[in-house]
Amino acid sequence: MNIPDLPYFDPVVDSEGKLTSKWLNALQQLLTELQTNASNEGIQMPPQPTTNIVKLNTQSAVGRIIYDSTQNLLFGNINGTFKQITTS
């Protein structure tokens, strides 16, 4: 998901009380990302091929869930390593 940075230090509205273009663009990007990745059908896991998932095995990814698009599997990062999530 590509969450945009909000233009915190820029005015939110102009002299006419309308959203400024920077804030309008940021909010449009945010809403588009949310509608794409968190819809009524559920949350879309970010897809990655197996080769990229191995490279993402780091402490900064702890607690993340990712979809292996090569093997059609879900993985969760525990203690810096992605492990397959199994269901039965």
For the chain, the domains span 1-44, 45-84
In the prediction, which pLDDT does 57 show?
A: 84
Using 70 as the pLDDT threshold, list the residues of the chain that sit under it. 1
pLDDT digits (tens, 9 = 90+) for 13-24: 999 999 999 999
What is the residue-wise DSSP string for 19-64? Answer: BPHHHHHHHHHHHHHHHHHEETTEEPPPEE-HHHHHHT-SGGGTT-
SS3 1: coil
In the prediction, which pLDDT does 30 show?
A: 92
In the prediction, which pLDDT does 56 show?
A: 85
DSSP-derived letter for residue 73 is: E
Here the tokens at position 3 are 């969450």
Q: For 57-66, which contacts have Cβ atoms below 8 Å and span 24 or more sequence positions?
A: 57/81, 57/82
